[in-house]
Amino acid sequence: MSEIDIESASLEQLRDILNNKTSNITLAHRFRALFNLKSIGKEDEDRTKARKAISYIADAFADDSELLKHEVAYVLGQTKDLFAAPYLRDVLIDTNQQIMVRHEAAEALGALGDKESLELLQDYFVNDPALEIRQTCELAIERIKWENSENFKTEKLEKSLYESIDPAPPLVTDENNSKIEKLQHILNDQQKPLFERYRAMFRLRDIGTDEACLALATGFADPSALFKHEVAYVFGQLCNPVTVPSLIKVLKDESEAGMVRHEAAEALGSIATDECLPVLRSFLNDEEQVVRDSAIVALDMYEYENSNELEYATVK
Ligand SMILES: [Fe+2]
Ligand SMILES: [Fe+2]
């Protein structure tokens, strides 16, 4: 299939592109098919068709690409349809899947607010050997509990500029939570519950000023790869050039986890100032596959968007 067909492709053609049926489809093109299937999967009018799209998306869990599969898990978590939950549970419990993919699956169960997964999440929160998985499960459990709590009904939250369902809601909007310094303090306080720290993170994102971005960048000093990758993700949403030096530093640091460096690469691809693109190009041959693939996909999407004037969703 030629690469220009994607906008008019049928559901089955999109499935075949996503799943690389002809074995010669570029990763970036497969991502495009995924994003098209994602928008079909979110459509309210025809849920039968939407669920077909969801099941085609989930087929991609059989692939090798860590980058693609983690995006697939993220996308399924954004569908607001519990139909996606069993696919995600299967991935969380499958220890042959990469940690980044399993993390994204657990997070997606939280985003779906899947109460039926609470027991499973609790099990992996306590017992999984990987800290990233335990922390993700902790957040997902808290998110599901929060969504079913009294607080959910009464809390005053500012409407976010971003469409994403995040691992935690922002902190409530009151006078205190408008003070950057205080939010930065909560963000970096390792004694506080992770869920609260994430809430401070998303509150800072929603404030979105240069000062708020610089406060967020202090989160890169945290020991947790999970925490740092989320800061990088938020920077990809914010697209504020003030974050670029911190993202470049993270991307260049080979002692950082692949998950963190990948997210930094994607954020630089979204910000895409003149400074970002040459840096990304220099990582096209990085030793870490997920970093290499992130640079390839980010650059390809940047070029595609600029040639077609199409806006793609922020990648996770
Ligand atoms: Fe993630
Ligand atoms: Fe990611």
Q: Mean pLDDT throughout 97-116?
A: 98
Q: Mean pLDDT throughout 121-142?
A: 98
* Closest ligand, as measured to the CA of 66: 2
With 0-12 / 13-18 / 19 or more C-beta atoms within 10 angstroms meaning exposed / middle / buried, residue 188 is middle
Rounded Cα distance between 235 and 212, Å, is 11
Rounded Cα distance between 221 and 176, Å, is 24
* Closest ligand, as measured to the CA of 103: 1
Using pLDDT thresholds of 50, 70 and 90, give the confidence band for residue 146. Answer: very high
Using pLDDT thresholds of 50, 70 and 90, give the confidence band for residue 2. Answer: very low
Q: Mean pLDDT throughout 94-115?
A: 98
Does the pLDDT at position 58 exceed 50?
yes
CA 226 to ligand 1 centroid distance, Å: 7
Does the pLDDT at position 315 exceed 80?
no
The architecture of the domain spanning 158-316 is Alpha Horseshoe (1.25)
Using pLDDT thresholds of 50, 70 and 90, give the confidence band for residue 1. Answer: very low
Sign of the torsion formed by the C-alpha atoms of 31, 132, 235 and 243: negative
CATH fold match for the domains 1-154 and 158-316: yes
CA 225 to ligand 2 centroid distance, Å: 12
Using pLDDT thresholds of 50, 70 and 90, give the confidence band for residue 313. Answer: low
Q: Return the domain boundaries, the chain.
A: 1-154, 158-316
Does the pLDDT at position 241 exceed 50?
yes
* Closest ligand, as measured to the CA of 104: 1
- Pick from 104, 20, 117: which is nearest to 60 by CA? 20
Using pLDDT thresholds of 50, 70 and 90, give the confidence band for residue 25. Answer: very high
CATH class assigned to 1-154:
mainly alpha
pLDDT tens for 256-303 read: 999 999 999 999 999 999 899 999 999 999 999 999 999 999 998 888
CA 141 to ligand 2 centroid distance, Å: 20
Does the pLDDT at position 38 exceed 60?
yes
